[in-house]
A = this chain, B = another copy of it.
Amino acid sequence: MTIKDLSALTGYSVGTVSRVLNDQPNVSEKARKTIREAAEACGFQLNTNAQQLKQQRSNNILVLVKGSSNQFFGALVEAIQARVSEKTSYHLVVDYLDEDSNEVLRALQLVREKKPLGILFLGGNEENFRTHFARIDTPCVLVTSDASDLTFPNLSSVCCDEFQATKSAIDRLIAMGHRQIGIIGGFRERSDTATRRFQGCMAAFEEHKIPFAPDQDYANARFSHEGGYLAAEMLIARSDRYTAIFCMADVMAMGAIRCLTDHGLKVPQDVSVIGFDGLSVGEYIVPRLTTVSQSVELLAQRSIDLLRQLFEDGATAAHEFIPAEIQWRESARSI
C-alpha cells in the first residue's frame, strides 16, 4: 500500500494525496476528507524510508548513552523517552557504548548513517569533544557535563553544578562532625564528572583544613553496585577510621552499604554514607539513602528543550545548570 494505491483508490493524484497526508495547504476540503478516510480505512502509513530519503533528513533524535550499567542514565533515558513522545512527534534512537569507548567518534558514524536532527550525549569526555567534535555539525546537547569551556556553536549542555553540589555535601558532612571521610568515585582519567566532583570534595577539605590523601582515601569504582562494594572493601582494608563515605552515585552507595554491613559496621551508626543522583530506589532501601539529588525529569526536559531550540529555531549554543539538592534521609548522621 503506497500513496500511488491511495491515489488510484480516491481518484486524486499522488501529489494531492501527499499534500493531505502532510497537512499541507492548497487542498480542497473535499479532497482532504476523501483521502483521509481512504487512508484511515486501509490503515495506511507513509514509508519512512522513502520520506527520509527524499527529505535528506530523519525524524530522529539520537541518544548516546555512555556507560549503560549506570542506572542513573537508565532513569534519564526513560524520562527523555516520556517527554519526547508526549510533547513531540520525534522518534528516539538510543545507542549504548561502554564507558571507555569514544562517544564522539561513534556519533560521527551515526550522523552519517542515520542523519538525526540532533544528538543527546548522556555522559561524555571533554577530551574526546576537543579532538573530534569539530567534524560534527549536527546540533548536540551534552547532558550531565558542562560544555561551556568548549565553544562549539552547535553544542549546548545541561547538568547540575557538580562542583558545588559535591562541595556542599562534604561541607555538610564536616559540619556534622565528620573528619575521617572516604570517597568512592569514578575513574577520574576517564570521567569528567568524577573529576568535577572530586574537585568539589577537595575544595571542601581544603577550606575546612581536613586532611585528605587521595591515594589513601579515594577509591576508584565503576558506576555499579558491584563497583561500590569493591571500592568500599578497599577503603575498609586501608583504614578503619572512616566515619563517613561519600559515593559519587547511588548505586555505588548501595554497594558500599552492603559491604560495610558485611563487615559488621552499621549505617549510619558506625559509618555515614551519602550517594549522588537521587534514584527513587534510595527511598526504599534500608536505611533510606541520603543523597545529592538531581531531578531526572528536569534534566530530561531541559536537554530536549535545548536541543530543539538548536535545531528548530537555529538558536545559539547555551549552557544551563539545574539545581541539585541534598535529600537528607537515614544513611548519614551527625557525630
Report which A residues bind B (CB closer than 8 A).
43-50, 52-53, 58, 68, 74, 78, 81, 93-94, 96, 108-109, 112-114, 225-226, 229, 254-255, 257-258, 261, 280-281, 283-286, 288
- A286 contacts B286, CB within 8 Å? yes
Contacts A53-B50, A78-B68, A281-B254 given: A45-B286 contact, CB under 8 Å? no
Contacts A225-B280, A280-B225 given: A48-B113 contact, CB under 8 Å? yes
- A109 contacts B45, CB within 8 Å? yes
Classify the interface of chain A: helix, strand, loop or mixed: helix
CA distance A81 to B108 in the complex (A): 21
CA distance A112 to B280 in the complex (A): 37
- B113 contacts A45, CB within 8 Å? yes
CA distance A35 to B252 in the complex (A): 49
CA distance A282 to B254 in the complex (A): 11
- B281 contacts A114, CB within 8 Å? no
CA distance A108 to B44 in the complex (A): 11
Shortest C-beta distance, A258 to chain B (Å), equals 4
Partner of A112, one of B43, B53, B114: B43
- A49 contacts B53, CB within 8 Å? yes
CA distance A44 to B283 in the complex (A): 49
CA distance A96 to B52 in the complex (A): 23
Task: Note all chain B residues with C-beta closer than 8 A to A58.
Answer: 49
CA distance A283 to B225 in the complex (A): 9
- A48 contacts B114, CB within 8 Å? yes
Shortest C-beta distance, A308 to chain B (Å), equals 21
- B229 contacts A284, CB within 8 Å? yes
**Given A48-B113, A281-B281, 9 more pairs with CB closer than 8 A:** A43-B108, A44-B112, A48-B49, A74-B74, A94-B94, A254-B284, A257-B286, A285-B286, A286-B286
A–B pairs, 20, beta carbons within 8 Å:
A43-B109, A44-B112, A45-B109, A46-B113, A47-B53, A48-B49, A48-B113, A49-B49, A49-B50, A49-B52, A49-B58, A53-B53, A68-B78, A225-B283, A258-B283, A258-B286, A258-B288, A261-B286, A281-B281, A285-B285
